[in-house]
Amino acid sequence: MTTRIIVVMAATLAVSALLGSAEGATPVAGQIRIEATRPETGEVRPLPLASHWTAGDHQFSEDWGLHTQLKLIEEGHYLLPWFSHPRKERPELLPQIEKLAELKLPFVLSASQWESLLTNDPRFMSLPAEKNPNVVEVDGTIRKAVSPFGPVEPWREVGRTWTDNSGMKKLQEMYPDPPLVMFLSNNEHGKLRWTDVETSKRYVDKHGKGKEDSFKRQVVADGWIERYRALQEGMREGLANKTWKENSIFVGYGAFGLEHFGRWGGWRNYSLCSPGRLDPNPLMWDGGSPSYYTHNWNPSTDFKTWSPQVEFQNDVFQQQLARKMNPNFWIELSIWDGYTGGTHIPPKPNDKRKYYESLGQTFTPERYRGFVQFGMWLMRPRAVREFRGWIHPWQDGKPYFMAIVAAVDLVHQNPVLREWWRGGELVPNRAHKHPYQVDIPEEYQDEDRWFLLDANVNSQEYPWEMFWEVRVFALALVRGEAPKRQWLVYAHSPLADRKDVKLTIPDHGEITVDVSIGGSFYEVHEADRSVQAVAR
C-alpha cells in the first residue's frame, strides 16, 4: 500500500474521531469505516469485517446484493460491502450506491481475473510474438497463458480498460469520496508455471536450460511482481477521480501464504520461494485472501490433522514476513466449507457436507462458526470473506454466512474480546513441532509454526499423522508480564460439546474448561489462577 493511501487513512480516522471515536459510541457504518481504513502499522490492531464473494448477479442469488448488505449494516452488523466490478453502467445499483455514499462506507469491487483479457481479447492474443504478453513456446507457438517474461506495457494497458469505462466513471461520479475501495481479483487465470519455464522461448533465450529450481522460481516471481504492479498502476491511471486513485488497494485471492508448507516433498512446486524470499505476493499486491477451505477436491476436513486449523498455523510467521516486505499488506481469509449444492444445484459427488453425512455427522452453522473463529483468532485478519457459487441462493447460504457475521460481530461487541483482538500475542506451543516437516528451508526451521494447545482428549503421540482425529482445537493469546499475565483461550470441538477438557497453556499449566461445537472463550489470570468464561 502506498504512503499516500496511509495518509488518507489517517485523515479518515481523524474525521471519524470528530464524529465520536469511542468504540461502541459511533454508528456501525462509522465503525466499519474506521476499521477498514485503520493502518496496519498503527498502534491499534484493526477489528475484522465480514464480506463475501457472491455479488448477487444471478436471479437465484440476487439477495446477496447490496440491498441485503445495507440492511444488515442498518441492523448493526459489521460488513465490508461488496459488488461486482462494473464495466458498464448498472442503473439497478444506483439507489444502493447513493446509500453507500451517504454512509461513507468502504466497499469491494470483485472481479474474475483482470489479466485474463490479455489472453481472451483478440487485441492482445493476436499480437505478434515479440509484442504478445502470453507464453511464446520454444517453437514460436503462442500459448493461452500469460507470461512473466513478455512485454510489460500490455499489462498496464489492460489495467486501464478495467477503470477507464462508462460504468466506473458513473460510479466515481455518484460516490466521489470513498474512504477505501478494494479492487478484488479472483486471481486464477492461466499463467506460466515456474516448473515449465524451459518451454518458454523468452526464458530459454535469456537464461538457457538447466538452471537450479530456486533460480527459476526467483526470476518467475520477479517477472510477476513487475507485471502485476504494472497492471494495477494502469487501473489506477484509468480512474478519473483523485480520491479514488489515492484510496484504492488491489487484493488477490490466494495472494498470500503457503498453508501447504512442508506437507509433502513437492510443496515447493506450488510456491515461488527462493533464498531470502518465501513468498513474493506482498510485493505483487496490496493484500491477499488465502483459502481457509475444506476443499471438496482434497481430503481436508475440520476435524483431522489435515485441516485448515492446522495448515494455517504455517501462515502465522509468513504473515510477519509479509508485513516486513509490505507493512500495510491487507490479509483477510476466504472461507469455504466444501459445500457444492443448493436449491437449484445438486451437490457434486465429492461435496464435503455429503462426506460428513456419510460418517454420520452434520455440518451445522454452529460447527461452521467454531471452525471459522479458530482461523480468525489464529490470524486476526482484516476481513472474513465467504465463498459460495455465484448462483447460490441467499436463503440457502444465509444461516452459514450469518454464522460468520456473528463471529465478527462478537469481536466488535464483546469488550473483553475486542481488547484481546487489539492487544494479545499468540502463544506458540514449543513442546511439539508442526506435523508438516518435509523439506523445510534452513532459514525457516526455527520459526514458530505450532500454536495448538495440548488437550487431554487429543492424541498424546507426536508427530500427528495426516488423518488422525483432532477432538479439540485450542489456542491462546497472552498479555502482561509475570506474575500478572493474562491469557485468552479459544477452543472449539467440531464433533461434540465436551465437558471438563484439560488444556495446557505453555509456561502456565493446565486448565479445565468446557468446549462447545461453536467455540468457547475463557480468560485466564496468572495472579489467582482463575478461569473465567468470556463467551460461548
User: Which stretch of DSSP H or E encloses residue 474?
Assistant: strand 473-479
The arithmetic mean of pLDDT across residues 74-99, rounded, is 96
| Residue closest to 148 by CA, chosen among 45, 25, 230, 254 | 230
- Alpha carbon 358 to its chain centroid, in Å, reads 30
Amino acid 136: pLDDT: 98
**CA pair distance 144, 93, nearest whole angstrom:** 34
% of the chain surpassing 70 pLDDT: 95
The residues facing 515 across adjacent strands are 498
pLDDT digits (tens, 9 = 90+) for 362-410: 999 999 999 999 999 999 999 999 999 999 999 999 999 999 999 999 9
**Residue-range domains of the chain with CATH:** 3-258+269-288+314-424 (3.20.20), 426-535 (no CATH)
The arithmetic mean of pLDDT across residues 316-339, rounded, is 98
Amino acid 26: pLDDT: 55
**CA pair distance 259, 328, nearest whole angstrom:** 21
Amino acid 536: pLDDT: 78
| Residue closest to 335 by CA, chosen among 369, 385, 299, 371 | 385
End-to-end CA distance of the chain: 37
* SS3 assignment, position 28: helix
Q: Scanning the structure block, which residue is given the C-alpha cell 480520491?
A: 243
Q: How many CB atoms lie within 10 A of CB 336?
A: 19
Amino acid 345: pLDDT: 86
pLDDT digits (tens, 9 = 90+) for 10-63: 444 433 433 333 344 359 999 999 999 999 998 899 999 999 999 999 999 999
Q: The C-alpha cell of 432 is what?
A: 511439539
The arithmetic mean of pLDDT across residues 253-277, rounded, is 97
- 354 pLDDT higher than 70: yes
Q: The C-alpha cell of 214 is what?
A: 530456486
Q: Please say whether the dihedral angle defined by the alpha carbons of residues 320, 323, 325 and 330, taken in this order, is positive or negative.
A: positive
The residues facing 293 across adjacent strands are 336
336 Cβ contact partners less than 8 Å away, ≥ 6 residues apart? 291, 292, 293, 294, 295, 386, 387, 388
**CA pair distance 475, 90, nearest whole angstrom:** 46
The arithmetic mean of pLDDT across residues 521-530, rounded, is 97
Amino acid 243: pLDDT: 98
Q: Are 66 and 81 in contact (CB under 8 A)?
A: yes
